[in-house]
């Protein structure tokens, strides 16, 4: 496939990442947290970044509801087991927020926490940050509607000045975010048009219908199927369930002069995983493929017996 087909998605990832960075800087200005600031960058989730994921999600949860965060999470994270618990707790809490506030978020699955990167994750994170900003603005508005005479009895003049300054800063920040959101909508509309053009070009090259490329109606879901990741023989959790039927092959992306070695079997270090999960090594697929090819050749030769000649090979 022409790599230019993928370019619009890469550009959108970078643009949304910059917006996420700006919004988080704005939140930290209102709710300071030095340990989070050092993880921020314009491209922090272009590639998987577990360290930034733990810090940023915990920060957002604490800003949103510190009491709920303390009940649901064990913080800070001190070992691999705690990382796994944090990931699963994050997905559970996000589903709870989605249901409670009727946000209609889709795709809240464990893979978001296992591989925090890519366009889907970036879009979701941006939506979550926008939700928190809107919720904070509503709380602040209710707070300002309180009886100021009663507040003056309980607060010093310095406290009132501090709240007023914070309110001005928050209003300024929110107005900026609303403008950014409008700009994002315009940008997304342009990107959508560009993607449609790319799909039309791809359909022309592959001689497929655009609708077939846009939808998954022609694919069948294999019930009970799943993709699960393991590290040193230990499960890292199920990332995908009920996936489309078909053949899936692992891929690895490396950068510049990086190297990697792959063990497709049969001499695995953690054979217990294959036995416990009734899995097969990639090396077994090679033998199956040879058998399938031989069987396919036999069928072809049988169906075309008597019609195959060197001068008529394409019959």
- pLDDT, one tens digit per residue, over 248-260 is 878 888 888 889 8
The pLDDT score that the predictor gives to residue 199 is 73
Cα dihedral sign, 192-196-201-207 = positive
pLDDT single digits (tens) 36-92: 988 999 889 988 999 999 999 999 999 999 999 999 999 989 898 999 999 999 999
227 - beta bridge partners? 240
Would you say residue 7 has pLDDT above 80?
no
- C-alpha to C-alpha distance for 182 and 173, rounded to whole angstroms: 14
Of all residues in the chain, the percent with pLDDT exceeding 70 is 76
Q: Has this prediction a pTM greater than 0.95?
A: no
Fold of the CATH domain 5-141: Actin-binding Protein, T-fimbrin; domain 1 (1.10.418)
The pLDDT score that the predictor gives to residue 4 is 39
φ/ψ of 9, rounded to 5, equals -70, -40
Specify the range with the lowest mean pLDDT, choosing from 9-13, 39-43, 92-96, 109-113. Answer: 9-13
Residue 126's pLDDT band, with cuts at 50, 70 and 90, is: very high
The pLDDT score that the predictor gives to residue 272 is 85
User: What angle, 0 to 180 degrees and rounded to 10, lies between the N-to-C axes of helices 50-64 and 80-100?
Assistant: 40
Domain ranges of the chain: 5-141, 157-212, 261-309
Instruction: Tell me if 116 sits within 8 A of 49, measured CB to CB.
Output: yes
The pLDDT score that the predictor gives to residue 279 is 84
Specify the range with the lowest mean pLDDT, choosing from 21-25, 33-37, 309-313. Answer: 309-313
Residue 207's pLDDT band, with cuts at 50, 70 and 90, is: low
Would you say residue 191 has pLDDT above 70?
yes
Residue 21's alpha-carbon distances to 75, 103, 135, in angstroms, are 23, 23, 19
- Residue 157: Cβ within 10 Å count: 8
pLDDT single digits (tens) 140-175: 766 655 545 555 555 555 566 666 666 667 766 666
pLDDT single digits (tens) 15-26: 899 999 989 998
Query: Please, what is the average pLDDT of the chain?
Result: 80
């Amino acid at each position: 496939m022409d790599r230019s087909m993928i370019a619009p998605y890469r550009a959108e990832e970078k643009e949304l990442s910059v917006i996420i960075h700006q919004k988080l800087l704005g939140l930290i200005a209102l709710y300071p947290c030095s340990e989070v600031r050092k993880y921020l960058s314009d491209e922090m989730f272009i590639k998987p970044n577990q360290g930034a994921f733990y810090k940023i999600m915990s920060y957002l949860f604490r800003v949103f509801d510190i009491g709920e965060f303390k009940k649901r999470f064990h913080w800070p994270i001190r070992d691999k087991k705690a990382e796994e618990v944090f990931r699963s707790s994050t997905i559970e809490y996000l589903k709870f927020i989605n249901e409670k506030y009727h946000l209609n978020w889709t795709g809240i699955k464990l893979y978001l926490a296992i591989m925090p990167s890519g366009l889907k994750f970036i879009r979701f994170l941006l939506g979550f940050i926008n939700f928190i900003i809107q919720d904070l603005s509503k709380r602040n508005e209710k707070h300002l509607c309180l009886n100021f005479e009663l507040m003056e009895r309980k607060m010093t003049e310095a406290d009132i000045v501090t709240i007023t300054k914070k309110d001005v800063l928050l209003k300024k920040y929110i107005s900026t975010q609303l403008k950014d959101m409008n700009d994002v909508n315009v940008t997304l509309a342009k990107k959508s048009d560009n993607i449609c053009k790319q799909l039309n070009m791809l359909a022309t090259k592959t001689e497929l219908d655009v609708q077939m490329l846009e939808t998954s109606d022609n694919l069948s879901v294999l019930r009970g199927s799943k993709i699960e990741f393991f590290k040193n023989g230990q499960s890292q959790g199920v990332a995908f369930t009920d996936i489309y039927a078909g053949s899936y092959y692992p891929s690895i992306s490396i950068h510049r002069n990086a190297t990697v070695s792959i063990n497709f079997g049969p001499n695995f270090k953690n054979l217990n995983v294959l036995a416990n999960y009734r899995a097969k090594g990639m090396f077994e697929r090679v033998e199956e493929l040879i058998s399938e090819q031989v069987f396919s050749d036999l069928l072809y030769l049988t169906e075309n017996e008597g019609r195959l000649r060197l001068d008529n090979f394409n019959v």
